[in-house]
Amino acid sequence: MVVYKEPSPLRASKASVSHYAEQMARHVNYDPSTSIEILVSNLGGAIAYRNPVGNKPESIVVEPDGTFKIFLPTMTSMGRDKFTVAHELGHYYLHFPRIHAEDPSSGMKAYRWIEDANPDLQRCEWEANWFAAAFVMPAALFTQLFHQGGKEHVVEVLGVSPKAAEVRAGSLGLAA
């Protein structure tokens, strides 16, 4: 029987997590113009959609062998889903390696919506968000696209939600 552990935070800086995310995007040949679903499949993962009622749709389950399944809600946009998939990949790349190193027979389960009373899980969510933003919206490319045509151009080219582009613009010191 597999034991699934919760992630624990790295406590790395936002800049370090962002830099690592951009490195990982290059390492796995992520291209913002292609489907992130294909990338997930190439990494040994799968995506499943489920109704959010009674479930925790935005989550990842990683098996001890590193295969994984990302769960998405049935009622969100493709741009939102792209960010959520990258967020779950953040857990996979940032948090699963520690679990695997400590106990190779354990898997990991991470849920997007966690209780406010758990600061470690909150920190894991922040780290996964930082990872996701830099993975799907690398700083240099985002800045270039933003200067070419604003937030709308970023949304169109990178296939992210307007809210994700707005938050990223703010974090990079660009006027949204």
pLDDT in tens, 24-81: 999 999 998 788 999 999 999 999 998 766 666 789 999 999 999 999 998 888 999 9
d(CA 108, CA 110): 7
Query: Which carries the bigger pLDDT value, residue 71 or residue 114?
Result: 71
pLDDT at 176 over 60: no
Give the pLDDT confidence score for residue 50 in this predicted structure: 84
Mind spelling out the 3-state secondary structure of the chain?
CCCEECCCCCCCCHHHHHHHHHHHHHHCCCCCCCCHHHHHHHCCEEEEEECCCCCCCCEEEECCCCCEEEEEECCCCHHHHHHHHHHHHHHHHHHHHHHHHHCCCCEEEEECCCCCCCHHHHHHHHHHHHHHHHHHCCHHHHHHHHHHHHHHHHHHHHCCCHHHHHHHHHHCCCCC
Residues 6+ apart with CB under 8 A from 21: 90, 93, 130, 131, 132, 133, 134, 135
Q: Round to whole Å and give the CA distance between 63 and 69.
A: 9
Report d(CA 100, CA 89) in Å as an integer. 15
**Residues forming beta bridges with residue 5, ordered by sequence position:** 108
Rounded to whole angstroms, how far apart are CA atoms 146 and 44?
33
pTM: 0.94
Q: Please state the domain extents for the chain.
A: 4-136, 138-176
Rounded to 5 degrees, what angle do the CA atoms 137, 139, 142 make? Answer: 60
Token pair of 82, please?
A: 């792209």
**CATH class assigned to 4-136:** mainly alpha
Reported as a single tens digit per residue, the pLDDT across 126-151 is: 999 999 999 999 999 999 999 999 99
Q: CB 136: neighbour CB atoms within 10 A?
A: 25
